[in-house]
Structure 1
Amino acid sequence: MDHIVTVQDVVTAFGDFMEPTNAELDAIEREMPLILARVDLLDAQIITLDRTPTELDTRRIRRARRRVLVEGLALVNRTAAATASGGAA
């Protein structure tokens, strides 16, 4: 008879050293406004998948795209400023 064994030890054995570093967490924090803007854009696009977009849907998508561009530009500017001032990017 074959016994079914758990793979829990194998899965959790790598947990301690696979945590994100402080630098990675800082990078995620810097990128969070852009991530949230992209989520808003995706939400606006998902709403229109099963129907013809209304004028309101079109404006919502256009506004969300504009916000993604603004947040992306702001992230690039923050990164460039940190690099120019000698900070870590």
Structure 2
Amino acid sequence: MKHIGALQMVVTADLSDREPTAAELDAIEAEMPLIEAERELLDAQIATLDRTPSELDARRLRRARRRVLAARRTLANRDEAIAPEVA
């Protein structure tokens, strides 16, 4: 005799089916400047894949790298201000 319980689907929700929490959305919102800066850098890098970078391309890459570094610094400083290390 087969046990019917083994053939039934799980009724509880899967973790991948849930919506993001408010805290997760806030974390994404806080990281958005970094995400946008990294996307700009990636766009600049993709634009130079099939050709030798011109002076304008080189400036665009430098500017994008500086924006990524500035966004990372700002995010790191914000995180440090929220949760300082205990020495």
**TM-score clears 0.5:** yes
TM-score (norm 1): 0.74
Find out whether 1:28 has 2:28 as its counterpart: yes
The higher radius of gyration belongs to: 2
TM-superposed CA distance for 1:54, in Å, is 0.2
1:56 paired with 2:68, answer no
- Measure, in 2, the Cα distance between the counterparts of 1:61 and 1:18: 38
Identity of aligned pairs, percent? 65
Q: CA deviation at 1:14?
A: 4.8
Task: Name which structure has the greater RCO, CA cutoff 8 Å, separation 6+.
Answer: 2
- Number of residue-to-residue matches in the alignment: 72
Give the root-mean-square deviation of aligned CA atoms: 1.8
Note the residue ranges of structure 2 that are not aligned, 5 or more in a row: 1-12
Indicate the SS of the match to 2:20. Answer: coil
Q: How does 1:1-89 map to 2 (within 5 A)?
A: 14=14, 18-84=18-84
The whole-number CA distance in structure 2 between the counterparts of 1:80 and 1:29 is 17
Give TM-score, length-normalised by structure 2. Answer: 0.75
2:62 aligns to what SS in structure 1?
A: helix
